[in-house]
Amino acid sequence: MDFDKELDARGLACPLPIVKTKKALAGMGQGQVLKIVATDTGSVSDMKAFADATGHELLASETQGKEFVFFLKN
């Protein structure tokens, strides 16, 4: 999937992946796509809840081995 920016949230525990995602999105333009790679197992449900609560569209949520990859639309 195409994306405009990538956030490496590997090795970070709750709530850092979400807090850093919010910060990254704040610096991006409307409609741009942010790719996030995390290793926190809680991030799967957190990212979905974050998208629901903030109105960002979660385009994809994938598990690749021990990593979780998300694509969020700003």
As annotated, the active-site residues are 14
Question: Do residues 15 and 51 make contact, with C-beta atoms less than 8 angstroms apart?
Answer: no
Q: Phi/psi of residue 3, each to 5°?
A: -150, 160
Which CB, 2 or 25, lies closer to other proteins? 25
Q: Quick check: bond before 17 cis, omega within 30?
A: no
Which CB, 33 or 51, lies closer to other proteins? 51
Read off the tokens for 73.
Answer: 């639309």
13 binding other proteins? (CB under 8 A): yes
11 binding other proteins? (CB under 8 A): yes
19 binding other proteins? (CB under 8 A): yes
27 binding other proteins? (CB under 8 A): no
